[in-house]
Every structure is written in structure tokens, then in C-alpha cells.
Amino acid sequence: MNTAIYPGTFDPITNGHSDLIERAARLFDEVIVAIASSPKKQPLLPLEERVRLVQEVMAHRPNVRVVGFSNLLAEFVQQQGGNIILRGLRAASDFEYEFQLADMNRHLAPDVESLFLTPANHLSYISSTLIREIAALNGRVEDFVHPLVAESLRKRFNQNPQ
């Protein structure tokens, strides 16, 4: 059985993330979306809300599980029985950092492979950082995130629907 762990902060989950999860769910027996607490990044949304949103967005996929974590990724993967770390690459500029992470994870968990997927072309420019900035300035994010996520961001910024 191949269990892929897709880690990230998902602050918030975007359509690019969803695209990768959908494709991974067709490739692997189980996909665990591992949502990092990431206190150093000072996420906009609390961990519990990020977990809930991803669970709701991916509820139609029975082989996708969503788990929050705050320990070392290599440890988490082993605790979950994962054998694959799935990472997304949006642009060539992501590659150097991701390559470094893959090498470190290979050292820490030699039995775990890192695999990379790219999002669909029309989603490659979307990032959680951009979505947060647009939402904070009362911009429309509906083209970039699931409606539940857009609603959560409106509530976070005390905004009315447009």
C-alpha cells in the first residue's frame, strides 16, 4: 500500500492545493494531507480551522485524510505509516528549496521517497500568500479557493460577500 503524505501549512488551502490532492488521490491508496502548525510562519488561520477547511473541501475523496501536526515531518511520516512525501512545484524557483528538503528527508527517513507534482498550468500562479493578501484588501478570491474557504476568509476579515 502506498501512503502519500502531502505536507504544508494550507493557510488557506487553494485550488492549486486541491488540484494536487485530487491527482494524488487517484495515484495512491491513501493521501494524508499533513497540516503543519507552523507557529514561526504566524498563520492567519488557526490549525483547527485549516484542518476543518481541508476536510470539508476534500470530503468527497474517501482515501484522503487530513491531520494536523507539529513535529518533524520525517517523524510524522513514519508515525502515519507513510512511504511517500508529496510536494508541489509551482515554478522552477521552488525546485532548489524542495530539492534540499528532499535530501534532508531522505537522510532522516531513508525508506521514504519524495515525489513532486506540478499543478495544472492555470493554477500555477496561485499561492496562499497571495490569497491572504487579496482577501485582506477585500478582493475577490472565489476564483482561487473553494467557496467554503472564501467564506472563512470573509469572516476572518469581517467582510460582507461581494
Query: Which pLDDT tens digit goes with each residue over 87-117?
Result: 998 877 778 888 899 999 999 999 999 999 9
Instruction: Report the distance separating Cα 137 and Cα 107, nearest Å.
Output: 42
pLDDT score recorded for residue 90: 83
Sheet holding 64-69, edge to edge: 64-69, 30-36, 3-8, 84-88, 113-117
- What residues does each domain of the chain span? 3-121
- pLDDT tens track for 52-88: 999 999 999 999 999 999 999 999 999 999 999 999 9
- pLDDT tens track for 28-52: 999 999 999 998 899 999 999 999 9
Report which of residues 89 and 23 the model is more confident about: 23
pLDDT of 126 > 80? The answer is yes
pLDDT score recorded for residue 96: 86
pLDDT score recorded for residue 71: 96
Supply the pTM of this predicted model. 0.93
Single out the residue of 77, 71, 73, 94 nearest to residue 31, CA to CA: 77
pLDDT score recorded for residue 75: 95
pLDDT of 133 > 80? The answer is yes
Mean pLDDT of 4-12: 97
At residue 162 the predicted structure's pLDDT band, cuts being 50, 70 and 90, is: low
Q: Which residues are catalytic?
A: 17, 41, 90, 128
pLDDT score recorded for residue 94: 77
pLDDT score recorded for residue 160: 66
| Torsional sign, CA 116, 121, 127, 128 | negative
**Whether domain 3-121 has CATH 3.40.50.620:** yes
